[in-house]
């Protein structure tokens, strides 16, 4: 099953804490993880967060500015965000394909502007003030339940099927055959729900499988893997492992 790794934490910075919590069974298939990223002490310089491509949608809450929240997605290559020397974010990472937001504004990359959409995200963020991460979880779970009731998020049978058969996928044609769609239908469906083409989604799945320590499947050889990894992250696998904890 698909288990995306959401970030690379710089090994040299110890005053940054990153915590992930799995969702309750009722939200499985919708939420991948609830996340907290924060500074635990003063930083000597700006912190650059290395966000790995994962095809997920995020609801982001800035705990230092209650107006800044919203929905964000990543592209098919990694991105580095400058978070400054003090920060505290709480996120909901939704599995790829479950966000059905329609006209809801979605940012690509770092979210740093006040929320302007129609969901009660500012109200939720205000309610998180002063709570520990563990105390926030019931409120975040309630928000997900509300989003499900609104039809903003829903299980996606296409991406679920792909994730259940990752070892069988080597080409886009394999992906289309698994879900019983033509390549053109698959492209339209994935673009609507993930913002990725099938080819880009396949690249992301390969990268995430490699980061999880699985077989480097669908790569022709080691040099192909190294080339693809460097294109997606900006680092060779060896340099990435020395620089970041994943």
Q: How would residue 8 be classed by pLDDT, with cut points 50, 70 and 90? A: low
Pick the more confident residue, 180 or 78.
180
- Under a CB-based contact definition with an 8 Å cutoff, are residues 134 and 140 in contact? no
Question: What integer is the mean pLDDT of 11-17?
Answer: 83
SS3 237: helix
Structure tokens at 224: 């192909």
Report the interhelical angle of 157-164 vs 172-179 (nearest 10°). Answer: 120
- Of residues 9, 36, 53, the one with CA closest to residue 140: 36
Contacts 24+ apart (CB under 8 A), 148-151: 148/30, 150/119, 151/100
Average pLDDT across the chain, whole number: 88
Share of the chain above pLDDT 70, in %: 91
Which positions ≥6 away from 60 have C-beta within 8 Å?
A: 68, 69, 70, 71, 72, 89, 90, 91, 111
Tell me the pLDDT band of 204, cut-offs 50, 70 and 90: confident
H helix intervals, 172-244: 172-179, 183-194, 198-211, 222-233, 237-243
Query: Tokens for 147?
Result: 């989003």
Per-residue pLDDT tens digits for 104-146: 889 988 898 999 999 999 999 999 999 999 999 999 999 999 9
- For residue 220, pLDDT beyond 60: no
How far apart CA 66 and CA 128 sit, in angstroms, is: 9
pLDDT for the residue numbered 6: 59
Distance of CA 19 to the CA centre of its chain: 14
């Amino acid at each position: 099953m698909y288990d995306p790794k959401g970030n690379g934490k710089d090994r040299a910075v110890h005053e940054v804490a990153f915590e992930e919590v799995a969702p309750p069974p009722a939200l499985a298939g919708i939420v991948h993880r609830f996340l907290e990223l924060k500074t635990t002490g003063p930083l000597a310089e700006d912190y650059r967060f290395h966000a790995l491509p994962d095809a997920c949608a995020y609801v982001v809450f800035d705990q230092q500015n209650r107006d800044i929240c919203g929905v964000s997605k990543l592209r098919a290559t990694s991105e580095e965000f400058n978070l400054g020397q003090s920060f505290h974010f709480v996120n909901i990472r939704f599995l790829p394909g479950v966000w059905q937001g329609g006209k809801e504004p979605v940012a690509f990359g770092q979210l740093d502007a006040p929320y302007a959409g129609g969901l009660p995200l500012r109200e939720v963020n205000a309610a998180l003030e002063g709570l520990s991460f563990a105390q926030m979880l019931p409120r975040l779970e309630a928000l997900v339940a509300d989003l499900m009731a609104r039809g903003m998020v829903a299980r996606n049978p296409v991406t679920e099927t792909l994730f259940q058969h990752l070892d069988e996928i080597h080409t886009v044609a394999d992906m289309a055959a698994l879900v019983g769609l033509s390549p053109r239908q698959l492209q339209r469906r994935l673009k609507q729900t993930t913002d990725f083409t099938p080819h880009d989604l396949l690249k992301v799945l390969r990268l995430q499988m490699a980061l999880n320590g699985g077989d480097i499947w669908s790569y022709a050889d080691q040099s192909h893997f190294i080339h693809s990894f460097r294109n997606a992250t900006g680092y060779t696998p060896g340099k990435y492992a020395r620089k970041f904890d994943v």
